[in-house]
Structure 1
Amino acid sequence: MEMEGDQMDSPIQLIENTDKATKQMLENVRKRKKKFDDTKRWHYISIYATLFFAFSFFVYFYFTIAEHYSYSFLAMLSATLNDGINIYLLALTILGFGAMNLLKQQKEKKEKEYQDLRCEIVDRSKDLWKKEEEWKHRHIVFEMMKNKYDINLYHEKK
């Protein structure tokens, strides 16, 4: 059975002048950043899918129903409810809107978890790199985290 620490990303594992606990914190912040980035990507996909379905619904609705039944609201409603494609496109638009909002909430939660841990590392950097030799080399760790994972450990601000 492998331990959690053995599954660390190899560049983080290979960092010198950093203890195992700090490496684990760096690995955790990398994982949280990845989860945040993945959720953010899915949120954007849901936005574009919802816009596509909404656009398709309105175009289809206009050309098949609104143009032919514009003389009466009840005739338009009846034609809308009797058209399977129209109902299907409307349902996809509503589902997309719901998914978009759910993913937005998840994205915000994952971002908060990631930013909280990132800020904790920034705040505790004096404790995490206690020895003088470690402190002198921490900028190498910060550069690697910035370049490889786009994680800024220099400042608390995003």
Structure 2
Amino acid sequence: MENSIIHLDDRTDQATKQMLNNVVKRKRKYDDFKRKHLIVMILTMCMTFLFFLYLYQTTIKPYSYSFYEIFSAFFSHSGNLYLFVLTGGLFGLMNLLRDKRDKAEKEFHALRCEIIDKSKDLWKKEHEWKSRHIVFEMMKEKFDINLYHENK
């Protein structure tokens, strides 16, 4: 469990601390997939550009007089097929990571909204209710998790 969540003391009970810790884990998972997706997306775009540039220079430009010659030249070099498969694989990985990122975002957002909805139950006592803004501010500052509003 996170140190800043452990040191909330009497502001929250143990179950609430566990919920806050879970939302931090989901946020980190979402941020990790978001970063990986961005890196693979940039790699895919660069690889696609370089592949088309290579294809234009080695195949299309010299054999532009005939589509059959372009087709034959493309398949006569096995490197073209490997580059094509690599580019397609990067595109598939990018889509896979996008789906995982979207799923992680939904899980994070659902848990965050659950905490917001149950805030009246989680901070039942009067002194806990009055000090919950300290918990919300700590979550916003340390983990960039907004527990004030359900909208992103």
> Normalising to structure 1: TM-score of the pair?
0.92
State the shift of 1:78 in Å: 1.4
Shift of 1:88: 2.3
Equivalent in the alignment of 2:93: 99
The AA in structure 2 aligned to 1:93 is T
* SS at 1:154 equivalent: coil
Please state if 1:152 is matched with 2:140.
Answer: no
Aligned mates of 2:37, 2:22 — CA distance in 1 = 22
Aligned partner of residue 69 in structure 1, secondary structure: coil
Query: Are 1:49 and 2:25 an aligned pair?
Result: no
What stretches of structure 1 of length at least 5 have no aligned partner?
1-7
C-alpha deviations, 1:10-33, integer Å up to 9, x for none? 111111211000000000000000
Partner of 1:9: 2
Q: Secondary structure of the residue that 1:64 maps to in structure 2?
A: helix
**How many residues were matched structurally?**
151
Pick from 104, 109, 114: which aligns with 1:110?
Answer: 104
Per the alignment, residue 28 of structure 1 pairs with 22
Match of 1:133 among 127, 137, 146: 127
1:105-147 deviation line (CA, Å, top 9, x unaligned): 1111110000000000001001001111111111111001001
Select 2:113's aligned residue among 115, 119, 124. 119
Higher relative contact order (CA 8 A, sep 6+): 2
Structure 2: runs of 5 or more not aligned: none
> Which residue of structure 2 lines up, in the alignment, with residue 4 of structure 1?
none
Aligned pair partner of 1:78 in 72, 94, 104: 72
* Distance in 2 of aligned mates of 1:73 and 1:29: 56
